[in-house]
Amino acid sequence: MDKEEFIRFLMSIPGIGRAKAEAIYESGFDTKEKLINASIEDLVRIKGISENLAKRIKEEVGKEVEKEEEKEEKEEEKR
């Protein structure tokens, strides 16, 4: 996933516009895995990210990764 795709993904999370998405990306959280592994405290250090928004980010990214893993498992089963 390139930078613009990742920014668009972040913007799909309620409460995140382009400025916050870019701030997250520029803070080094440039993959879903890094966001999942980040602490709430790490995310709150980013300008514009509240504790509630940090929790929502982790929740939404977690759901997205689960969907991707389920899709991959189904594709593996078909082989």
Q: What confidence tens digit (pLDDT) does each residue in 30-76 have?
A: 999 999 999 999 999 999 999 999 999 999 999 999 999 998 888 88
Q: Is residue 25 a contact partner of residue 6, using CB atoms and an 8 Å limit?
A: yes
pLDDT in the model for residue 56: 98
One-letter amino acid for residue 41 of the chain: E
Work out the average pLDDT over 8-36. 97
CATH of the domain at 34: 1.10.150.20
Range of the domain at 39: 3-78
41 Cα distance to chain centroid:
15
CA distance 78 to 73: 9
Indicate the number of domains in the chain.
Answer: 1
